[in-house]
Amino acid sequence: MKVLLGLLLVLLLALQYRLWFGDGSLQEVWRLREQARASQAEVQRLSMRNQALAAEVADLKSGLEAIEERARAELGMIDKDETFYQFVLEQSVRSRPLASPDNQAESVDP
């Protein structure tokens, strides 16, 4: 009887070890669930990005407004009846820090 009880105890310990630390253990299941959650979040982020890109492609295929907007923003293009103005700061103005309201009164020379 003691041998059978000892054998059952060893078997119970072996099964407990496998449950907690072996293949398919609770730790591994928890780790795989966390990986699945992270993967689902990444898939959701990428699917939203794909939807935005598909909408942009459809917009570019359907009308000239999107193409014109992109050309203006990325290439600096203007229409033929428009005038382009570019303001360039002088070197001395660029290197000088902007005056705060407190310093403006002091920096004005009469």
pLDDT tens figures, 36-64:
999 999 999 999 999 999 988 888 888 78
Number of separate domains in the chain: 1
For the stretch 76-99, pLDDT in tens is: 788 888 887 878 888 775 566 665
- Is 105 inside a domain boundary? no
- Is 13 inside a domain boundary? yes
Burial of 66 (0-12, 13-18, 19+ CB in 10 A): middle
- Is 38 inside a domain boundary? yes
Global pTM reads 0.45
Domain that holds residue 75: 2-97
- Is 103 inside a domain boundary? no
CA distances from 71 to 59, 64, 68 (A): 14, 10, 5
Contact indicator for 76, 68 with CB cutoff of 8 Å: no
- Is 110 inside a domain boundary? no
- Is 7 inside a domain boundary? yes
Strand segments, DSSP code E, in the chain are: none
- Is 86 inside a domain boundary? yes
